[in-house]
Amino acid sequence: MKTGPLSKDHSLLLSWYRANRRDLPWRRNRDPYQIWVSEVMLQQTTVAAVVPYYEKFLTLFPRVEDLAQAPENAVLKAWAGLGYYSRARNLHKAAKALAEKGFPKAAAELIEYPGFGPYTSAAVASIAFGDRVGVLDGNVIRVLCRRFGLDVDWWTTTAKKDLQARADAFAQLGQPDEINQALMELGATICTPQSPACLLCPWTSRCEARRADQVRSLPRPKPRKKIEIWTWSPVVFRKKNQVALLQRHDTPVLRGQWLFPGDFEQVKKKPSSFHARHGITHHDLYVNVSTSSRLPRDPSFQWVDLDKVVEINPSKLLQKILDAAKGLKP
């Protein structure tokens, strides 16, 4: 892909970014650890929601070595409220390796670590170390599809390869740390999904979607994954102020985490009665809770103090189950 025609775009966008970028805590230095933590937190979460969690997290774990040495339950407790807890577990796993070996400076090396997908690897490597690789997140995809009038199935491998090449071309023109953040900033603040502020955009006269009156139709909407309906019948075993949890690998959600025992079943329609409802990704989960005074003797169960459950598994689903169990008799 030729980069020559992009130089004007590159210059206009950099000038706009330097004049309009938001003052965000992770933009105040180029520490790869701090940038990495922010990028992981920002996945599936808004900037406004992330800032207080980010600042608290760095107070608790100011260096990658501190995060590596922390127990997992302390990391999960600090993450509680952000959701998608596999992000925190992968962050912790990768921190152990990074604390020992140091941060690689290239996205191609970072991607080998747990939780470092193509986007996170490119973001950390380009922003912290100036690696000339483009980032491709939802904001950047939207900006590129509109700027170049790309009416494509952007979620497919072929289309993403083309979009990545376009993002890389911008990074290779120079200042990859700023240009990548500029593309994301433009998508987050100006070229938004609904009601984009086209007149404030540095590319307003260069945008193919605007020229063709396609701003509202690009990028194409991704087909939604069908929602699966599941029921779960957790059993709460309790003795004094403790409950029994089991590490489960047989579940449609929260796989590998400490949960209550009980059967999951996929159904065609939601049940008429249930104690709690919980949505996780494309799963709609309906929960009917029971309690038991017969204590399990299986050594694979772990007895956990009620006030420590959130440290073992911070998912709000467990708290919903415990709340429902309070009014039930064994």
Question: How far apart, in whole angstroms, are the C-alpha atoms of residue 15 and residue 133?
Answer: 20
Tokens of 93: 């796993």
- Tell the burial category of 298 from Cβ atoms under 10 Å away from its Cβ (0-12, 13-18, 19+): exposed
| E strand or H helix at 167 | helix 157-172
The one catalytic residue among 39, 178, 185, 311: 39
Question: How far apart, in whole angstroms, are the C-alpha atoms of residue 196 and residue 13?
Answer: 16
Contact 126, 119 (CB under 8 A): no
Question: How far apart, in whole angstroms, are the C-alpha atoms of residue 285 and residue 280?
Answer: 8
148-185 burial by CB neighbour count: b if 16+ within 10 A, else e? bebebebeeeebbebbbebbbbbbbbebbbbbbbbbbb
Tokens of 253: 């959600």
Question: How far apart, in whole angstroms, are the C-alpha atoms of residue 206 and residue 329?
Answer: 68
Examine the residue annotation and report whether 39 is marked as an active-site residue of this protein. Answer: yes
Judged by DSSP in three states, 238 sits in strand
* Cα distances (angstroms) measured from residue 212 to each of 148, 191, 206, 312, 325: 11, 16, 11, 53, 58
Question: How far apart, in whole angstroms, are the C-alpha atoms of residue 20 and residue 292?
Answer: 59
**309: how many CB neighbours lie within 10 A of its CB?**
19
Tokens of 235: 């059993």
* Catalytic positions, written as ranges: 39
